[in-house]
Structure 1
């Protein structure tokens, strides 16, 4: 349990980087940042795939098709929506919307995977869910108050950002459930190999997306200097760093956690991503969070700590108690 939690913590620290990337290159379109990140991820995965080629050969055609689906939804679609949301609404609002994932995934997994992973009793799970929800509400309220204090706040732009963040949330509710399905059905497979396989599957999708985006911008007469934009060194460095640390290392650690933890518990531990993203965003702002934000962080951590103590109960035992 605690080893899985530690892996989830490292994954969250890595994934938090993706929330500040769009703020560092705001002039780059969200779609370009998405395909750029995953093109870097795919290229990083190639030498890793060569080193792990024996294990990758054991994957079936169905396995590669699943990796392709996970790459398309959990990687490309998720990040293009998230990057666009951050550019429109800033980092905190999308971060808090994505921060509802621990609650959403825990509930979905408890309804969907109870027979496989065991049933987490709602009475025991409720306190952690309430603490996490309260923490997210506190941070969200503080950020909304800061937004309302701005003289030139574009509410429509913020609303669009929030909508895109909701699409990202839907993508990443689907992704960990499907990813955990594959990992739990293949307990003998190395999670690192599965992360590398997703990187290899992402490469042709990202490359195709990059070419189509380039052609589309050229056809529309866009003044944006393709293929690497106005700051190519910064863009390449940032995409490579996010591709290595957030995409490959983060996915590897998450796969390790998913093999060790019930999906409902693992879903709640995505809260580490929220905490990391908020920390990085405030470092980028150059100021400390306020008291309400800090209270939210404390509630989030308390909720995760509580959730880690909840033990799943076999469904047969739950059904027997009813009779």
Structure 2
């Protein structure tokens, strides 16, 4: 349990960088940043795949199909929807919607997978979920008070819809990924992270061609293929591809293989906390009091949830005559 929480914390610290990347290169469209990140992820996976080629050969055709599904939904679709939602609604509103993930994942896991790992008592889980939800409300209320978002109704509503799709994607991804790892304890989490990187590369390359062609038509002044600041963009994508995609996925896989599926959801909070921390470091300012209160509530909710022991699964006893 302790090792699983540490791995989840490490994944959250690295995934928090996702929210910093767009702030460092604001002139780059979200779709191009998404493609750049996952092309880098796929390229970094190639030497790792050569090193792990013996273990990768043990994966079945069904395993590779599962890896493709996970990367399409949890990587490409999620990050594309998130980036576009932020551009359409502004970061605070999208963050508020994405910030519901710990609660949504916990409830979904308890409903869908509780019969596998043992359910968490709703009576015991509810206070933790309330604390997490209260923390998220405080954090995002503080952000919303910092300024209004100029909006066009259709653009705003479509941004909210995209943020909700992103929530659905990242509710499905960690639960599905966790179940695969729990059902395949003989497979190394590092091998599974590398396999996802391999299947990501061709998908990201195809998406890159589409995005580049679209930019050439809609923004002819944009310097292609690497934009106006390639000396910043390329290293940033490599760092995010390594830390957020491969190493972050590896740490999350290690956590998922050690922890019950119903406990995975609250640990997504580490990503939100890391993202907040990096954002305020970038702003070079201390978070306001309401944000600090929200962070305390988030941490209290996670600690409370981790202290809940799943109720044992009761299997029917078959009687023999």
Length-normalised TM-score, structure 1: 0.93
**Partner Cα separation in structure 2 for residue 26 and residue 125 of structure 1:** 39
Q: 1:143 to 1:191 in 2, by over 3 A?
A: same
Aligned match of 1:321: none
Question: SS state of the match for residue 204, structure 2?
Answer: helix
Q: Does 1:267 align with 2:265?
A: yes
Q: State the Cα distance separating 1:272 from its structure 2 match.
A: 0.3
Q: State the Cα distance separating 1:298 from its structure 2 match.
A: 0.1
Question: SS state of the match for residue 269, structure 1?
Answer: helix
CA contact (8 A) 2:8 2:255 kept: yes
Q: State the Cα distance separating 1:314 from its structure 2 match.
A: 2.0
**Partner Cα separation in structure 1 for residue 215 and residue 287 of structure 2:** 39
Question: SS state of the match for residue 145, structure 2?
Answer: helix
Aligned match of 2:184: 186
Q: Does 1:40 align with 2:40?
A: yes
Which of the numbers 147, 154, 157 marks the counterpart of 2:150?
154
Q: How many residues align?
A: 314
Aligned match of 1:133: 133
**Partner Cα separation in structure 2 for residue 26 and residue 221 of structure 1:** 15
Q: Does 1:236 align with 2:234?
A: yes
Q: Does 1:294 align with 2:319?
A: no
What do the CA deviations read for 1:129-152 (whole angstroms, capped 9, x no partner)? 11101101111111122224xxxx
Question: SS state of the match for residue 147, structure 2?
Answer: helix
Question: SS state of the match for residue 288, structure 1?
Answer: coil
Aligned match of 2:3: 3
Aligned match of 1:209: 207
Aligned match of 1:166: 164
**Partner Cα separation in structure 2 for residue 205 and residue 186 of structure 1:** 25
**Partner Cα separation in structure 2 for residue 185 and residue 202 of structure 1:** 23
Aligned match of 2:308: 310
CA contact (8 A) 1:4 1:257 kept: yes
CA contact (8 A) 2:42 2:197 kept: yes
Q: How does 1:220-259 map to 2 (within 5 A)?
A: 220=218, 222-259=220-257
165-174 or 231-240, larger mean C-alpha shift: 165-174
- Cα-Cα RMSD: 1.7
Q: Which runs of 5+ in 1 are unaligned?
A: 319-323
What do the CA deviations read for 1:108-130 (whole angstroms, capped 9, x no partner)? 00000011111111111111111
Q: Which runs of 5+ in 2 are unaligned?
A: 317-321
CA contact (8 A) 2:35 2:207 kept: yes
Q: State the Cα distance separating 1:221 from its structure 2 match.
A: 6.0
**Partner Cα separation in structure 1 for residue 267 and residue 106 of structure 2:** 9
**Partner Cα separation in structure 1 for residue 160 and residue 130 of structure 2:** 22
Q: How does 1:64-75 map to 2 (within 5 A)?
A: 64-75=64-75
Q: State the Cα distance separating 1:201 from its structure 2 match.
A: 0.5
What do the CA deviations read for 1:195-224 (whole angstroms, capped 9, x no partner)? 000000100000111112222333446321
**Partner Cα separation in structure 2 for residue 72 and residue 24 of structure 1:** 26
Aligned match of 2:319: none
Aligned match of 1:123: 123
**Partner Cα separation in structure 2 for residue 221 and residue 309 of structure 1:** 52
Q: State the Cα distance separating 1:158 from its structure 2 match.
A: 5.7
